[in-house]
Amino acid sequence: MMLFVSFGYGLFFWIIGIFVNPFARALLFLGFSFFHPLGFNWFIPELTLVNTLFGVYKWQFGLFLLSISLFIVLKSWQRIFGVLFLVASLNFEIGKSLHTSKHKIYLSSTYLSQDIKWEESYRQESIKNNLDIIKKAIKQNYDIVVLSESAFAMFLNLEKQMMNELKELSKEIIIVTGALYAKDTDAYNSTYYFINGEVKVADKVVLVPFGEEIPLPKFFKKLINDMFFNGAKDYKTALFPTDVEIKGEVFRNAICYEATREELYVGSPKLMIATSNNAWFTPSIQPTLQKILLKYFSIRYKTVIYHSANRGGTSVIY
């Protein structure tokens, strides 16, 4: 898969490199930023501007590329035109504060290996560790505790004893945790919100290509699932993002990959709770890239993101 992705994006840059004219290269580079093969949108070149003084909107990135092209083509004093476009691409909203939650939120940060996460022999220890995190947050007087994606490696709604224990604990602290959800013969990647003895389930909306769904016609989908996933079916999804009200504040729910997709920011939510399991990708730069992507969407949509992750990435992003 790494070779496939590398070859694909390498082809993009090869096509851009065919053209000598800087303006043609800039236009193609900007154009490719709109192209997301198989629904995978992590090629966003304007991410390079996230931690700079420049803006990250497409039009600002376009002006930034135009200014570089003008610097290359023009000579001496004429380069002032390049400076003008560079100034126009600045982010003039730097320093403006966003609305953060009034609640004290504990974000768990765990380092559990994917090799043992779903092992039956590790199940009880994993449950104990999760409960210890919740009890620690209660002891430290937090209002909300957020555990990572699939923190409970099980179909949690089928585990009545565990559900009852979490409901009881939620009378002392609001618990947000990732786990699978079973409905008939379908499986969902979900987030459970335990609030004052009640539970609300938020299902994932956008699945990971080739991880949670095969974005190919039915014949190839079945072939790949049979070859690599023991005949398992794709996960099912919710039709729309889920908003959860917690003590007067509304949080948009997002699970890992979908927190880096436009669909989850419809309506520009002020607050978001995102959970991830990055154990699939470590050791790699994926947690760092994910964090930059979350920062990019936070800037664009003015959203404060409370992100709890396993194996890197836990932080408040705004």
Q: What is the DSSP string of 93-104?
A: TTTPPP---SS-
Residue 46 bears catalytic tag: no
N- to C-terminal Cα distance for the chain? Answer: 32
Catalytic residue among 117, 213, 256, 258: 256
Residue 168 bears catalytic tag: no
112 lies in the same domain as 199: yes
Q: Which residues pair with 106 in a beta bridge?
A: 145
> Which range marks the domain in which residue 277 is found?
105-317
Span 27-48, mean pLDDT? 88
Span 17-42, mean pLDDT? 90
Query: Residue 215 pLDDT more than 80?
Result: no
Catalytic residue among 46, 117, 204, 258: 204
Residue 230 pLDDT level (bands cut at 50, 70, 90):
low
121: left (phi over 0), alpha (psi -120 to 50) or beta: alpha
CB neighbourhood size of 156 (10 A): 22
Picking from 88, 119, 137, the residue at the C-terminal end of a domain is: 88
Secondary structure class of 315 (helix, strand, coil): strand
Whether 97 maps to a domain, the answer reads no
134 lies in the same domain as 79: no
Whether 95 maps to a domain, the answer reads no
Residue 37 pLDDT level (bands cut at 50, 70, 90):
confident
Whether 21 maps to a domain, the answer reads yes
Picking from 28, 63, 88, the residue at the C-terminal end of a domain is: 88
63 lies in the same domain as 204: no
47 lies in the same domain as 138: no
pLDDT of residue 226: 67
Residue 159 bears catalytic tag: no
**pLDDT tens per residue across span 103-113:** 999 999 999 99
Span 172-187, mean pLDDT? 96
Secondary structure class of 176 (helix, strand, coil): strand
221 lies in the same domain as 288: yes
Whether 67 maps to a domain, the answer reads yes
Secondary structure class of 9 (helix, strand, coil): helix
Picking from 57, 88, 119, the residue at the C-terminal end of a domain is: 88
Catalytic residue among 46, 117, 149, 295: 149
Whether 63 maps to a domain, the answer reads yes
Whether 100 maps to a domain, the answer reads no
Number of domains in the chain: 2
214 lies in the same domain as 82: no
Domain CATH number, residue 194: 3.60.110.10
C-alpha span between 22 and 36 (Å, rounded): 23
**pLDDT tens per residue across span 243-272:** 999 999 999 999 999 999 999 999 999 999
Cβ atoms of 122 and 116 within 8 Å: the answer is yes
